[in-house]
């Protein structure tokens, strides 16, 4: 499709055509929020693991704010799935809660750093090489 036809289709549809990594939570900095990803079953219900992470925390370290499921799943090139979550206000407290809960469940934690998807075990992947979906 020519650039002019693509631009016309995008104008008509009111949205960009094609893959847009900038929509992936954490790929664009939001000063009041932090995004993290936790490993999970690629076919599972992300809300189940999200709740389990916070249920596994023995002491709530956050004094204000909240955390939520960010509605995005990233697939590494090997097919491993990671689910996005975000938190705000007490960033340090919520980060500690997430790290503690993920560790207690034996899951992996990851984040986006520049154009890379970084897993806590040291693996790095270009975000452009990963699959993603919104739910």
Q: Does residue 19 lie in a domain region?
A: no
Asked whether residue 103 is domain-assigned, the answer is: yes
CA distance 59 to 10: 48
Assigned domain for 5 exists: no
What CATH number does the domain containing 103 carry?
A: 3.30.70
The pLDDT score that the predictor gives to residue 112 is: 97
- By CB atoms closer than 10 A (0-12, 13-18, 19+), residue 40 is buried
**20, part of any domain:** no
Residue 120 lies in domain: 25-134
> How many domains does the chain contain in total?
1
pLDDT along the chain (135 residues), means of 10: 70 64 83 93 78 95 96 94 96 98 97 96 96 89
In a domain? residue 75: yes
User: How far is residue 50's CA from residue 132's CA, in Å, rounded to a whole number?
Assistant: 18
pLDDT (0 to 100) of residue 2:
66
């Amino acid at each position: 499709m020519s650039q002019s036809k693509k631009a016309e289709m995008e104008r008509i549809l009111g949205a960009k055509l094609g893959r847009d990594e900038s929509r992936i939570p954490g790929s664009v900095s939001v000063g009041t929020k932090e995004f993290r990803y936790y490993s999970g079953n690629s076919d599972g219900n992300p809300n189940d693991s999200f709740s389990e992470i916070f249920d596994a925390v023995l002491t709530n370290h956050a004094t204000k704010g909240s955390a939520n499921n960010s509605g995005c799943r990233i697939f590494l090139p090997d097919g491993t799935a990671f689910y996005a979550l975000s938190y705000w206000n007490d960033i340090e407290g919520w980060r500690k809660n997430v790290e503690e809960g993920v560790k207690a469940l034996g899951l992996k934690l990851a984040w986006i750093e520049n154009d890379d998807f970084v897993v806590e075990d040291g693996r790095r992947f270009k975000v452009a090489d990963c699959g993603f979906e919104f739910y």
